[in-house]
């Protein structure tokens, strides 16, 4: 009798575990960087493809240490004349499709750094008032649209105070509207610039750059270093979701490109087992247009 009465209960547990696994393994989204090539289409066109769940507008590449912040969107618009306010229409178009749009700060080229905790708070206040939900600004570089959050692509300058910036931004989150914070660290662990910030546990999305670093990327047909690094990140960093950041074409990075067929057959089936898996990040829209990479992998992500 006891054995029979337990059987339905055990079956329910098994079914719950199976459903939970399927939900975890149901897939993620693709994050894309847009803004560094005028030939990659508009922001609205980017989101209209239906391939992306997140778009990082790149880059605000001058800020901190008392500098007047500057945004650089390459050939898309001229911020000096207020011309980038036109991007506002693209932001709202993307958001109407359920796509989260973030401002990426930093980048591989620029002049940015945080001189102190007070400086970090000043930068956070600038971002809140000029790109997010704040009202204390007479000039919003991207127009009136309210972005969903800020992406930290920090590759230069100071290694401190990024945690202060993240806390200040996240403090503006409200039940009806979250301020999302994301990060794009290099794959060597811990990241030189963002290690301390990531320890706050505040980051919603972490798209690790698994390229341009032979010690932790796909190389010479081997996935060993890549998977080992992925496991280190997903078990060590307290974040909402972690993404595998990749170049969208061989020319998009110095090294680390993974053929789509290899990603789908040898890598995604492994990394999707992690409860932290959020999807794939690609650099960048311009290169993705050339290669069709996101179209090739979206069914497997």
Question: Which residues participate in catalysis according to the annotation?
Answer: 155
Contact in structure between 151 and 104 (CB atoms under 8 Å) = yes
How would you write the chain as a 3-class SS string?
CHHHHHHHHHHHHHHHHHHHHHHHCCCCEEEEEECCCCCCCCHHHHHHCCCCCEEEEEEEEEECCCCCCEECCHHHCCHHHCHHHHHHHHHHHHHHCCCEEEEEEEECCCEECCCCHHHHHHHHHHHHHHCCCCCCCCCCCCCCCCCCEEEEEECCCCCCCHHHHHHHHHCCCECCECCEEEECCECCCCCCCCHHHHCCCCCCEEEEECCCCHHHCCECCECHHHHHHHHHHHHHCCCCEEEEEEECCHHHCCCCCCCHHHHHHHHHHHHCCCCCEEEEEEECHHHHHHHCHHHHHCCCC
């Amino acid at each position: 009798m006891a054995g029979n009465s337990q059987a339905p209960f055990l079956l329910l547990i098994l079914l719950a575990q199976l459903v939970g696994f399927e939900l975890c393994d149901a897939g993620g989204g693709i994050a894309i960087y847009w803004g560094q090539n005028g030939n990659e289409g508009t922001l609205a066109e980017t989101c209209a493809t239906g391939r992306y769940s997140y778009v990082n507008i790149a880059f605000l590449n001058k800020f901190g240490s008392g500098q007047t912040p500057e945004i650089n969107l390459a050939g898309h618009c001229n911020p000096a004349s207020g011309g980038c306010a036109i991007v506002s229409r693209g932001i709202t178009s993307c958001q109407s499709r359920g796509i989260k749009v973030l401002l990426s700060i930093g980048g591989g080229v620029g002049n940015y750094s945080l001189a102190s905790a007070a400086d970090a708070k000043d930068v956070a206040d600038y971002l809140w008032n000029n790109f997010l939900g704040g009202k204390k600004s007479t000039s919003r570089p991207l127009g009136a649209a309210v972005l969903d959050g800020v992406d930290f692509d920090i590759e230069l300058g100071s290694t401190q105070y990024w945690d202060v910036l993240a806390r200040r931004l996240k403090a503006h989150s409200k039940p009806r509207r979250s301020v999302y914070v994301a990060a794009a660290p290099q794959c060597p662990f811990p990241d030189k610039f963002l290690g301390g910030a990531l320890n706050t546990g505040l980051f919603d999305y972490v798209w690790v750059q698994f390229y341009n670093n032979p010690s932790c990327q796909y190389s010479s047909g081997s996935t060993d270093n890549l998977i080992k690094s992925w496991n280190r990140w997903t078990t060590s960093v307290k974040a909402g979701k972690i993404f595998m950041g990749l170049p969208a074409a061989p020319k998009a990075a110095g090294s680390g490109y993974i053929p789509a067929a290899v990603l789908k057959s040898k890598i995604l089936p492994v990394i999707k087992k992690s409860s932290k898996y959020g999807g794939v990040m690609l650099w960048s829209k311009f290169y993705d247009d050339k290669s069709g990479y996101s179209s090739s992998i979206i069914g497997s992500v």
